[in-house]
Amino acid sequence: MAGTILVIDEGTTSTRAMLFALDGHCLGSAQRELTQHYPAPGLVEHDAAEIWQRTLECAREMVERAGGAERVAAIGITNQRETIVFWDKTTGEPLAPAIVWQDRRTAELCAALKEQGHEAAVQAKTGLLLDPYFSASKIGWALANWPQLREAGHRLAVGTVESWLVWKLTGGRHVTDATNASRTALMAIGSGGWDDGLLALFGVPRAILPEIVDCAGRFGETRLFGAPIPICGLVGDQQAATIGQACLEPGDTKATYGTGAFVLTATGTALPSSRHRLLATVAWQLDGQRHYALEGSVFVAGSLIKWLRDDLGLLASAAESEAIARSVTDNGGVFLVPALSGLGAPWWRPDARAAISGLSFSAKRAHVIRAALEAQAHQTHDLKTAFAGDGCDWTRLRIDGGMAANDWLAQDLADMLGIEVERPAFVETTAIGAAMLAGVGAGLFATLAEAAALRGETQVFRPAMDSQKRQVRLDGWATAVKAVLDS
């Protein structure tokens, strides 16, 4: 019997394929960078053909590592969510650039819809807010501004990245899972179907959209690697991390620190609502039953460190940021508000711009880098306050993602939040979550709870900061954010 699961983990800046044994042990990983295109300020695009080709390369490497396709029991796919792809059903080729979740080109459109009083109805139906972050306004903008999409007519297919990959892997299956569909602002989160009112509001024809399916099951098979391999798991990246962190019971909370930072608190089968501008989202759907989560989204986390490294030249590598942060005793009064693509929850200000404040001649490179890392705990504290206001305060935070490997950052989170922070030994829990779902879909595990054994061992970071010192930092951060919001 095939004894491995292949996971395709489609990120914002790279694509990976990872091979897992059924005990959760990672047997191998292949990764390729993805090109970020910035045609104008606030615009972020990908080449969907590049996404597919580099994903295919990585997957082939891992199938070979497994010893051939016949040794792979199932494929699980997890992806950056709101990014939207446009392709031709006849040729299977992209018709336009993919518009990335970070893209802000529809900020004015969303603001106009807010002014017209549509946000309350959108939030009630979708659990989301009117923001360029979500897919619906991107699709509507593309249909209005790219003639080749209108000219394609019935040949046009639209979907999030997992939908695009399934189409290419299967040779034409057009599906999307419920977690990704819940991030489009076109799905009614209570009923789980595309909503006619939302489709009309954003100008999106139903015929171009995929069928909404569960997160685990059999969604077709691919024959691109020799023997057929079934595709058995589909899930958005933040929901995958929630599952991979075994946040399966109401109140369980995880935070993923990748390109952005995303916190989800499980609420079970109860659909949450927020009075503090948090989001309701589908955490997973099995056998047609949806489980939900309350979510807070921070747009800039790991991408801030990448910017400091690649564009400002302040770092030789992301890894050295930990040692540099430890080289100074505090931030020297420097605060960095990382609104490089606007501010997410709980502010939702796509027009906000980043700022570094508190600079003086005594400020050094190390203070700026430390302020960048501190910003992660500050942004997370803002979210914790909002979650508490909605009756979902955290008693423990489970962290993962590339930035979570930084011990200084993990301890700073515990100190600033005043709660225990738990980190698994294997921090790539997004991939683990996709493997868990694929395992359930393939019948290798009876339930997600049984599959949760794949998570493995954890390390706990406990609060150790003096409350007065914590408050000084929180006050300084609040002042810095207010200056950004008021500018």
Q: Residue 2: is its pLDDT beyond 80?
A: no
Helix (H, G, I), strand (E, B) or coil at 318: helix
DSSP of 340-376: BTBB-TTT-BTT---EEES--TT--HHHHHHHHHHHH
- Residue 258 has what pLDDT? 85
Confidence of residue 3 (pLDDT cuts 50, 70, 90): confident
Measured between alpha carbons, how far is 59 from 76 in angstroms, rounded to an integer? Answer: 11
Per-residue pLDDT of 266-324, as tens digits, reads 999 989 988 888 999 999 999 999 999 999 989 899 999 999 999 999 999 999 999 99
Question: 205 or 42: whose pLDDT is higher?
Answer: 205
**Averaged over 338-342, what is the pLDDT?**
91
Q: Residue 193: is its pLDDT beyond 90?
A: yes
- Residue 297 has what pLDDT? 87
Q: Quote the CATH superfamily of domain 4-237.
A: ATPase, nucleotide binding domain (3.30.420.40)
- Residue 432 has what pLDDT? 94
| Token pair recorded at residue 111 | 């603001």
Cα 80 to Cα 13, 168, 178, 308, distances in angstroms: 10, 17, 14, 22
Q: What is the pTM of this model?
A: 0.88
Q: Residue 236: is its pLDDT beyond 80?
A: yes
Per-residue pLDDT of 87-146, as tens digits, reads 999 999 999 999 999 899 999 999 999 999 999 999 999 999 898 989 999 999 999 999
Confidence of residue 478 (pLDDT cuts 50, 70, 90): very high
The continuous run of DSSP H or E covering 161 comes out as helix 161-170
- Residue 178 has what pLDDT? 97
Measured between alpha carbons, how far is 207 from 155 in angstroms, rounded to an integer? Answer: 10
Q: Report how far Cα 30 is from the mean position of its chain's Cα atoms.
A: 20
Question: What size, in residues, is the chain?
Answer: 487
